[in-house]
Amino acid sequence: MIANTAAYHFVDIDAPQTLCDQLQARAEAGGLRGTVLVAAEGLNLFLAGEPAQVQAFYDALHGDPRFAGMRVKTSLSEHQPFARLKAKVKDEIISFRRADGQPLDYPRAPAVDPATVQRWLRQGHDDAGKPVVMLDTRNLQEVAHGTFKDALVLPIEKFTDLPQALAPHRQALQDSTVVSFCTGGIRCEKAALWMRNDGMDNVLQLDGGILGYFEAVGGEGYEGRCFVFDERVALDAELKPLVDQPLPEPNPSAF
């Protein structure tokens, strides 16, 4: 079996290229494939490989005090979903380009855990009796594979489109509890922070995103699958891939 992981952590990185090189070497030594993204604001990882090698990689990473609290979401597949390993230094580990949505500059936006969201969706309101609106911060390609029932879906192709796309809905949302969500939490963490800084103090973020929700409570209230950016295409509520087959043999000239 192959262990597939997704993890991110916002923390000050004073030498992004050095860390990127170190993590690339460690991943290569363990035969891992996927993506390593490093920026001054933190780390974003999508890695897959033999379970023991994956565990060793994250054990070493958690030994670094900067990443001791980093959460790793794991699912299994029969086959490796990544063709190769890529490691890059970027301006942001998830591009948003909003000064008022940068997690290192402000306290984290309030989060709500999956079990609470499940209960709210069952009862049709939050604990104060306010309607709950699930706000999808992903793009339309992702949403096409599935989303929460009756979620507010925005017509966006990339994350940086979100502020403009949200504008027409803000007045209608003001009397609701808004729960922003994405695949694993990284986008809704920035989105919720920006929205609260922009005056929407009724916004929360779904802790752990859709994958965290699936892990904790299953798929209740969610319709369809969760799109992932690799050869598995999408995962169901049991974290099983839509596609699970061998990749074509890589062409060395492509590297």
Residues labelled as active-site residues: 182
Q: Three-state DSSP class for 74? A: strand
Tokens of 55: 């565990």
Tokens 């230094």 sit at which residue?
89
- Write the CB contacts of 82 (distance below 8 Å, at least 6 apart in sequence): 33, 34, 35, 46, 48, 230, 231, 247
9-to-44, 103, 153, 163, 215 alpha-carbon distances in Å = 7, 10, 26, 23, 19
CB 154 within 8 Å of CB 173: no
